[in-house]
Homo-oligomer: A and B are copies of this chain.
Amino acid sequence: MPRSTFSGSVTSPKVDIIVDLGNPFLNLTVDGFLKIGTVAATKVAAEEAYSIVKRGSVSHHNFEHSLKKMCKEGAYWGTVAGVYVGMEYGFERIRGTRDWKNAMLGGALTGALISAACNNGRDKIVTDAIAGGAVATAAEFLNYLT
């Protein structure tokens, strides 16, 4: 297995595109979108690279499909991250404190919004809000631990 190619491609990307829109809320959202979108695109690229390595052949069709998938997953993860970062920042401003409750509320609202945008029913929206809040809280806690 050509592992060296793998790790080489993973350490190279430097994410430092800075877009200033003159508003901290918008800046954070766009920054979250770009950074997390890049992570998701890299994830898909790694998956596709593994599937190519496994099969041992590269066809034109597959490459185009991979690119499309990278864009789709990148945009999806980026949107979720952008909404979440914006929400957390908003809650921080509204509540005036920085703690895990901002993450929980931001995660819950993001889960509900994304779920509502995907045309889900009321029950699914509530479940997604709970799951979003839990995942955001867990990430925040892990953060304090390490």
Q: Which residues of A contact B (CB under 8 A)?
A: 10-11, 15, 28, 31-32, 35-36, 39-40, 42-43, 46-47, 50, 54, 77, 81, 84-85, 88-89, 92, 101-104, 123, 126-127, 130-131, 133-134, 137-139, 141-143, 145-146
Contacts and interface: CB of A to CB of B under 8 A. Distances in A.
Nearest to A51: B123
A141 B50 contact: no
- State the number of copies, please: 2
A10 B100 CA distance: 12
Contacts of A141: 15, 35-36, 39
Contacts of A50: 126-127, 130
B142 A43 contact: no
A42 B104 CA distance: 12
A104 B35 contact: no
